[in-house]
Each structure stands twice: as structure tokens, then as C-alpha cells.
Structure 1
Amino acid sequence: MKRGNDVKKPKPHQAPSERDRDPRFLQKLLDSIPIPIFYKDTRGVYLGGNRAFGDFLGRKMEDIVGKTVRDIAPGDLASIYERADQELFQTGGVQTYEGSMMHADGTRHDVIFYKATLATFLNRNGSVGGLIGSLFDITDRKRAEETLIQREEELSIKTRNLQEVNTALKVLLKQREDDRSEMEENVLTNVKTTILPYLEKVKEGPLTRHQRASLEILEAQIKKIISPFLHRISQPFFDLTPQEVRVADFVKNGNTTKEIADILGISIKTVDYHRDNIRRKLGIKNHHTNLRSFLLKLS
């Protein structure tokens, strides 16, 4: 009785079967491979290939066998193929390179050639008798790479354009800021030289208590318009009311609580109330900090 491990194994150096030597079987084997494959002798004459190779060229294999690259490819491409083949025949071994090949659709496709000299193609004297090769179509990959490069170039151009626009905007904003500063300076100069001096002259004349208070209110409002301090202290960060801003301005200018009350027409108690709110909103309540000194630092 035979045991399971007594199964007879084929000898590793067993001669090939008749099937393996059948050219029709070998051709069917080649035709089942989707990658174009060809083989030729040292004269560059095609000896055979698979169906994928014929389909790539748009020809039947029987129309390719017996021909050279000069018969099936444009002259410029044929010269490249011939030089590469001769280099491979001289050096032997394996050869890989990128190139172009005329496709059945009439366009040139980017391909990678894989070629080699094998023992099957050795002559009786041991010299190389031919080569076998295959090609891999990389046209889609090349187009994708070119598209990616083009997109990167377009992105680079857009980035440079944005940087230039950004620089131009900065210049315009700087110019606008300079123009605004110049305008403010002109307004400030005009007010100080043409308006305030006349107000001082009017104040020197005989005025009733009410007239003097009204004049001081007018002067305070003019100073409010031209005062960067008032603009700064009116920002939402401090959250001061309009009346508190007016009181703060008078405190900064050195007016006493009574003077502020007379100018604004409110009671001293109300002024004290506003002063307390100002200290609280400025964060100096219950601190031994002089309110006028603090306001001057904000100027």
C-alpha cells in the first residue's frame, strides 16, 4: 500500500514535454500576456511577438515578422531603436529606457522599453543571437505629470500675483495712512492757528457766567475734534459713555471738579459719579493712581 508521502515527484531536471516545445502553445502563452512583447535577431529582424504588440502597432504579427524597425516606425524613432539594440548586443544583459513609439491610433505614445539578451538567443559559438523585449505604455502617467507641473506653475504664478497685489495694497494703505495723517495735521494746525486764538481773545472780553461757560464748551468740543487722545479713549475697549469721555477730557486738561460741573452744567456730585465710573472702566479704581496722570499717559 502506498503512503500519502510516497507520491512520485517530478525530477527537477526533467526534459520539457512535447507540449512545452509546441510553438503554438508558446504563442498562445505569449498572446495571453497583455503587455506588448517582441523578439528579434541581431540584424534587427523581428522573429515574433504577441498579439498585444501587434495591437499596439495596429498591425497583424504576420505583417511584422521578417521586418525591421525601419519598416514599421518613423525614421527618427527607428534610428533610436537601432542604436539602443546595438548597445544591448555589445554589452549583453538587460536594458531599460524611456522612449516614444507610434501607436495604432497614429499618435506617439510614451513608453518604457524593457529588453534583454537571453541564452535562448545564443548562437552555437556562444555569441548573442538576438533579444527579447517588452514595452509599457506610460502616456497617461506622463500626461498626468505634465498636468501636475502645469498646475504647479499656474499656482506659482497666482501666488506671485497675490504677493504683488498684497505689496501694492500695503503701499496704498501706507499712502492712505500718510494722507490721513497729513490731513489731520493740517486740520490741527488750522484750528490752532485760526480758531483757538480768536476764542482766547473772546474769553478776554467781558462775558457773563453763562456766556463764558458756553464758550468753554465750544472750545472743549473743538479740542475734542482734534484730539487723538479723545479718539483713543473713545474706543470700545474702554466702553466710556459720551459724557464720561467729556469729563475725562476736562480732567486730563487740568480742570477741577467744580469747573467741569460749571462747564457741563451738571452737579459736582454727578461729576464725581462720572470720575468714579471712569476709574472703574480704566481699571484703576481702588488704586492710588492719579486719574489725570493716567489719562495723560494715554494721550
Structure 2
Amino acid sequence: RMLDALINAPIESAILVNTEGTVLAINRIGAKRLGKKEDEIIGMEIYNYFPSKLAKSRKAKCNQVIRTGKPIRFQDKLEGRYYDNNIYPVFDDKNKVTALAIYVRDVTRHRQAEIMLRSLVEGTAKATGRDFFNKLVEHLATALECKYSIIGRICETDSRQIKTLSFWEKNKLGKNFVFDSAGTPCDEVLGNKICIYKDKVSKQFPQNEWLTGHKIEAFAGAPLADANGELIGILTVMDTKPLSNFMVDGALSILTIFASRAAAELKRINAEDEQLAIATRLRKEQKALFDKHVALKQVLEHMDAEKSDFRHEISSSMEQALMPYVKKMRQKNGSLSKWDLELFEDAIKSITGTEIDDFRANYSKLTSREMDICDLIKEGKTSQEIADMLHLSLQTIQKHRSSIRKKLQLKNKNINLPAYLRYK
């Protein structure tokens, strides 16, 4: 009984055969895998229970152990399942191999997980950025046999809002969208933990129209965090059928492995988006500065033109006021009458600093409204612009301008009023 318990305790197939392949002993697991009871197999040749190609391969491995006296380990496949085989030699007193102890373990889940992981790694290895996200949701959904997969970024304005960056929907990339994590399993993921629901998701979250509308049964999700542990996104898979125990284990392993890579890519994309936003803002500011530069240049050119006009007016005034007396001096050999000298002095005063006193005296005669209008005229505002700013009619402004010219004694209509006011 103790020996029987020992043989049947392992979850592996345990078989003892002689060098010809005849079964000497077998445990329940081994017999069950061959579709027989133990006593039906004992005394039979073990190779008869396998397809010819597999039987030939396993027999060759057994003969190798008999010939070398060394144990051997290998894997093979039978009816879609993978098996890990260990064959040990059994020696007699003369150190001759007289039997073989064979242990066979079903490693289908491990092999499938390995294939699943390899497929994910190979499918995403060369991808970066958003292309990586697209590849990841595709291969993640395929590996875990799920219809939906999402990688999303937490919105800056609301930490409960998720904006999808890649959305896999029934064998194709779907349109990205924004959703509220409240009332969904994603809310638990945002608690910074991997969350898995094997089944009944729609029943457990009946208020969420998306989950119920898509008849979601299973969910698995992992948080994405940066190097400082700050949550920046989520990675999820969903399906309309329950997850098997194997798929639960696979989802847990894969999400754990790829969450770090996805978080790193998301962090890089966030940095790139931030740099792009800064560059865009700088371009706008640069354009605004350029526009201001152009406007300032135009103002300066306008001021230069007005200065030139004003210098021309001064030159013209000097010529008109002084040249007659210069001619008289030439005609009279440099001598002028007292009357001529007084006129000459008045002419000089009219175009030199003494005129400033007269301007100040005249300017003080202006009303406060006329002074306001003078300030706007000096700034280069047109009559229409001044009217709009002071909420007056254009005709009223024109009357004020006429009054200003009269009070400042600008009888010469050719004198530019804006230039005159700025000069004074």
C-alpha cells in the first residue's frame, strides 16, 4: 500500500518498463492518459499506445538510455499537448541496465505560456511609441484570446478619466475614445494594483453602458506607473466569455511583464507631447514677436517720415522768414534799418526756442477734451479712431481739430498737426 501510494502521489505519469518496452508498473495518472486502467496496461508494450512516429522517437530515446546508462530528458507533443519526458536507467547487481523508469509531465500550459510570451515579445520588439501600443493591444488580445484590449492614458484634467491611445476591437484597431473609470474594473486598476475578473463583469458593473452593451464577461488590467510610482495609464484586456484558469495565470504574468515596458513608452510619449506643446507655443510666441517687430518697424518708419516732413517745414519756414532780410543785407552792404532788425528778430523767434513759450501759452487755452484729443493725435490716431475711442462723432472730432489749430495759431494749413504736437 505504501508503495502504491508513493507511485500514485505524483501528478506525473510514472511508468516502469523493461528493456523491450514491456510495462512492469504504471500509476493511475499514466494509465488515465493512455485511456486505460493500470492492470490493462501492465504486460503490454508501451510503444503500442502511441502514434507510430512518436513511438519510434520515444523508443529511440529509451534505447539511448539503455546503451549509455545515462538518464535523458526531452519534450514532445501528443494530440495537441506538450509533455516533458524524463527516462532513468535501472541497474541490476552487475551494473547492467535491466529496466527504465519513465516520468512524463504535461507541460502544455507552460509551453503555451512560453509561446504566448514569445509571440508578444517578437510582435512588439521592434516597435516604439504609438506603434508599440498598437502592436501590444493586438498581440495581447490574440495571446489571451480576448476580443478587446486597451492601453490608455490618465487625463491631466481628471484622474478618473482615461483617454485610450490604442484600442483593439474584434481583430482590428478601433477608434480611440475617452471614458470615465468610475463604475468599471478600471477604477480598481487605478488603485495601483492588477485586477482580474474571470467572469460576470457586466453583472457586477450593471451601471456601465459600455460593459453591458458589449456583454463583457472577463476583465484583466494592470496600472502603468512611471519611475516615481506615479500612475500615468492602464493596460487592459476584456472578453465576452469567461477566462479559463490558464488564461488567468497567463494574463497575470503577461500584464506584469509588459506593464513596465508600456509605462516606459507612455512616459516617453508624454515627454514628446510636452516638448511638442512647448515647441508649438514657442512658434506662436515667435510669430507674435515677429508681428510686433513688423508693427514697430512700420511705426518707426512712419515717425521717420514725419520727422523728415517736420524738418522740411522748419527749413521752409526759415527760408521764408530769414532769406528776405539776408537779401536786404546784401543789397545794403550788410546794414539794416532798425525796423528791419526788429522784423528779423521776430522771424528768428518764430522758429527758435522762444516760440515754445508761445506754444505753452496757447496750449493752456485748450479745453480738457481738446488736450485729450491732442494726446491721441500725438500717438498717431486717426480722426475716426479717436471718435470711436471717445464715443464721439467724426464731425465732432474734426471740429475739435479745427479749434485746436486755431488756438495754437496754426494758420498755415500745410503744417502737419501730429508732427507739430510731437515736436513741441
What is the TM-score with the length of structure 1 in the denominator? Answer: 0.47
Bigger proportion of residues as helix: 1
Bigger proportion of residues as strand: 2
What is the TM-score with the length of structure 2 in the denominator? Answer: 0.34
By relative contact order (CA 8 Å, sep 6+), the higher-ranking structure is: 1
